[in-house]
Amino acid sequence: MRTAVLVEPTEFELQDRGRPTPGPEDVLVAIRDVGICGSDVHYYEHGRIGDYVVEEPLVLGHESAGEVVEVGENVTGLEPGDRVALEPGVPCRRCAHCKRGEYHLCESVEFMATPPHDGAFAEYVSWPADFAYELPGTVSTVEGALCEPLSVGIHAARRGNVGTGDTVLVTGAGPIGLLAAEAARAAGATDVLITDIVPEKLEFARERGVDRAINIAETDLETAVDEYTDGVGADVVVEASGAEASIRSTLDGVRRGGTVVLVGLSDEAAVPLDVLDVIDNEIDVHGSFRYANTYPAAIDLLADDVVDVEGLVDFRSPLSDVDDAFERAMEPTVIKGMISVDDA
């Protein structure tokens, strides 16, 4: 099967690899669509993300969906011909975190396209059937693949306990910020504000329906949020840029007694936050890492047309053009590039 393998930073090789054989609990999936995530681009450019280092050739891509072509002998509920979204992180299912339902925190999770685990830029992937979610007829495999970043947004909204009537400020209008904003809206937020420093991103966010798009390169965050909220501040701030300045400024946007959800991964592990501000104003600061139990909700939001993920897609490239696709994905105004594996 054709497989795009990152052999060196900025160098993919199209290899012919053996088609995997599904184990008794697995499904063999003919991959149709795979999103290019910022983390894929980071591995492509730098060969590492923090402590995760690409030491052996690695197959990237963890936002994927396709068609079941074979099922293991113990699999029930899925059959050849079903279209599925693949949840990329498979936990041990036995540890305390798994038992509590927070399986994304499992220390033994094997996550696609995170060294040493291969991802989905390949014609076939064998995957545990309980992490393959059937897509209804109205949900495309492009949408199925983008259940992954949508899940990050849903989890962030859940971590912020976003509720009906809330005002939510999202910082950073990349795919994660946009989908966090839309997940917040779906959770009941009536006012959604977003920041960025790239005018095209802000214009796009406006077109997708945010109530206020703030260019933080030109406008003071606290003034803009105060103006919108009559000096109260946002109930929930979801930080989705990873920029240090933005992480620090979350406390300027949140109301007293509100919640800050940190999603964006800073290049620096230590970012100063004013803890006296956190204490005095009783701010809840929550980390948000990947997601658990979100795929069914993501699929429902797509099936009910509550969230439009296809509108985020700037281009779709065949697997054979993976190098070019990654170069395009690095352009600052691009939101989402996709690889169409079956178009190669």
Ligand X SMILES: NC(=O)C1=CN([C@@H]2O[C@H](COP(=O)(O)OP(=O)(O)OC[C@H]3O[C@@H](n4cnc5c(N)ncnc54)[C@H](O)[C@@H]3O)[C@@H](O)[C@H]2O)C=CC1
Contact residues: ligand X, CB under 6 A: 38, 152, 171-177, 195-198, 201, 216, 240-243, 245-246, 263-265, 288-290
Of 198 and 285, nearer to ligand X (C-beta) is: 198
Residue 329 has φ and ψ, to the nearest 5°, of -65, -20
Is 290 among the residues that bind ligand AKB (CB under 6 A)? yes
Give the one residue of 38, 72, 163, 318 binding ligand AKB; rule: CB under 6 A. 38
CA angle 26-143-77, nearest 5°?
Answer: 30
SS3 93: coil
Is residue 288 part of the contact set for ligand AKB (CB under 6 A)?
no
Nearest residue relative to ligand AKB (C-beta): 39
**How far is it, in rounded angstroms, from Cα 151 to Cα 33?**
17
Distance CA 257, CA 304 (A): 33
Residues in contact with ligand AKB, shown as a per-residue x/- string from 239 to 268 under the rule CB under 6 A: --------------------------x---
Contact in structure between 169 and 236 (CB atoms under 8 Å): yes
| Beta carbon nearer to ligand AKB, 175 or 258 | 175
The amino acid present at 297, given as its one-letter code, is: A
Among 4, 37, 58, 90, binds ligand AKB (CB under 6 A): 37
332 class by beta-carbon count within 10 Å (0-12 exposed, 13-18 middle, 19+ buried): exposed
Please choose, from the candidates 246, 222, 244, the residue with its C-alpha nearest in 3D space to the C-alpha of residue 234. 222
User: How many residues of this chain interact with ligand AKB, rule: CB under 6 A?
Assistant: 7
User: Which of ligand X, ligand AKB, none binds 315 (CB below 5-8 Å, type-dependent)?
Assistant: none
- How many residues are listed for the chain in this entry? 344
| Beta carbon nearer to ligand AKB, 149 or 253 | 149
Binding residues for ligand AKB (CB under 6 A): 37-39, 111, 114, 265, 290
